[in-house]
Structure 1
Amino acid sequence: MNNSLIIALDFAAKSEIERFLKPFEDRKLFVKVGMELFYQEGPGIVHLLKEKGHRIFLDLKLHDIPNTVKSAMKGLARLECDLVNVHAAGGSDMMQAALEGLDAGTAGGRKRPNCIAVTQLTSTSQIQMNNEQLIPVTLNESVLHYASLAKNAGLDGVVCSAWESASIHTQKGDSFFTICPGIRMESDYVGDQKRVATPQFARDAGVSAIVVGRSITRSVDPVKSYEQWMDAWRGVLL
């Protein structure tokens, strides 16, 4: 998981995925399947990606009562993805139930998927969190609190912004994953993200894995863009 670059496959249909992946036929990627794609194509898209040898982050952000999440995770475990997630705001009982479901659904002799918790979305600002979620602390405090709940519940890491990664590793150790979206080159359009960071900042902050979407998937030359991103993430001088 450490030092991974996860490509967010933010497409709506299988045909778009196949078209995007065609130039990458000789590579094994780490890709993210989010709600848009999974809700359109269902488990079949996961099977397709696994057949091609890609690692998969199934990004469905489960958030419900513990029993429902447990049952859902039991089913998702059978897809044998590498990484799944929940919302930390669902609470400790829900996160523990998620792990119970994954353990129950994982075939004997197989490793259960890593499970991480979303802390605060990188599209959330300090003002929005305070005024709309009515959480009267700083974003950093909120993220660290959620990370503590996730760690204590037995989860493998969290989704956070690169700005909180160093503090999380200081408190929770380097083996506790920080998976960070909102990564942009200095020249990139920020879009709907609020807490963005460059690959260099993320690397210096000890981020375990970065998630990159449109900068690669919407590029006129996705393979070249992917290679440039990998160089930037690894600290290769261009």
Structure 2
Amino acid sequence: MINGKEKLIVAIDTNEFDKAKELIDKLEDSVDIFKVGLEQYVATRGKTVDYLNEKGKKIFLDLKFHDIPNTMQSAVRAAVRDKVWLMTIHVSDLEGMRQCAVAAKEEAERLNIQKPIIVGVTVLTSLSNQDLQDIGCNMTTEELAIKRAKLAKESGIDGIVCSAQEVDKIVEACGTEFVTVCPGIRPATAAVGDQKRVVTPADAINKGAHYLVVGRPITKATNPKESALNIVREIENA
């Protein structure tokens, strides 16, 4: 049987440390993995990462590193020192991604800690086919996501971030061991918000997603803990 808590990642959607801390405290019995994104990390200067480590929670550091290879691998080493469980880089050139994979392994071995999972961002779930055309890309979101997923696997990183709408195609192309992290997850009763390519938790799991990222349907709910537990149950009943 699937353990829903091992699949659910809750995105902390506030830029204030006190509110983030309050949310973590409310969810600590129902959620094991929390995502700290760019807004949250910069606004709190990393304090939320420290707090999650104190709580013994798994940390998904979603800063989407995208720079020259030397800068990216240095940033990866710094994230390893923060004892994060999973982190994102953008799918970019092969050499840059290879350096990130090597840097994570070397730094974790140096510190004698578990190496974090590194996943590459393929196509942001806020982007549509029209958005890609607007920036000169003639592929669909699905075509581009699959192409970038194959490149990420070749580089040696652990997996990718993608919409659950194309996760089954990526699993087919890259194998079941290649980690897939899917944002844009919305229960059927939740508002879509600014996401354009959304999928329900059960559908995402059935398509082969390893981890589901959920933000506002939990964090903005009247009862965040109950909302999280409902999604856990939906995952387990998929």
Structure 1 stretch 2-11 or stretch 138-147: which is displaced more?
A: 2-11
Q: Please provide the CA RMSD for this pair.
A: 1.7
User: Do structure 1's residue 145 and structure 2's residue 175 form an aligned pair?
Assistant: no
Residue identity opposite 2:145 in structure 1: V
Please give the residue correspondences for 1:181-200 in structure 2 after superposition, counting only pairs within 5 Å.
181-200=183-202
- The gaps in structure 1 that reach 5 residues or longer are none
Separation in 1 of the partners of 2:193 and 2:88?
23
Give 1:6-21 correspondences, 5 Å limit.
6-21=9-24
Contact kept? 1:115, 1:157, Cα under 8 Å: yes
Residues in 2 aligned to 1:22 and 1:203: alpha-carbon distance in whole angstroms: 27
Runs of 4+ in structure 1 deviating by more than 6 angstroms, as ranges, are none
User: Which SS does the other structure have where 2:166 is aligned?
Assistant: helix
TM-score, normalised relative to structure 1: 0.93
Cα distance in structure 1, aligned partners of 2:72 and 2:166: 27
Determine if contact 2:37/2:61 at 8 Å carries over to the other structure. Answer: yes
Match of 1:59?
62
SS at match of 1:116: strand
**Cα displacement string for residues 82-101 of structure 1 (whole angstroms, at most 9, x for unaligned residues):** 0011111x221111121232
- Provide the rounded CA distance (Å) in 1 between the counterparts of 2:158 and 2:232: 24
Given that 1:117 and 1:157 are in contact with CA atoms closer than 8 Å, whether structure 2 keeps it comes out as: yes
Give the 5 Å matches for 1:149-164: 149-164=151-166
d(CA) in 1 for partners of 2:232, 2:124: 24
TM-score by length of 2: 0.93
Percent identity for Structure 1 against Structure 2: 35
Letter in 2 for 1:232: E
Asked if the contact 1:9–1:31 (Cα under 8 Å) also holds between the matched residues in 2, the reply is yes
> Are the equivalent residues in 1 in contact too, given 2:30–2:228 (CA < 8 A)?
no
Structure 2 equivalent of residue 232 of structure 1: 234
- 2:234 match: secondary structure: helix
- 2:83 aligns with 80
| Residue 104 of structure 2 corresponds to residue 102 of structure 1 | yes
Distance 1:108 1:47 in 2: 17
Say if 2:21 and 2:51, in contact at 8 Å, map to a contact too. no
* Number of aligned residue pairs: 234
Residue type of the alignment partner of 2:104 = L
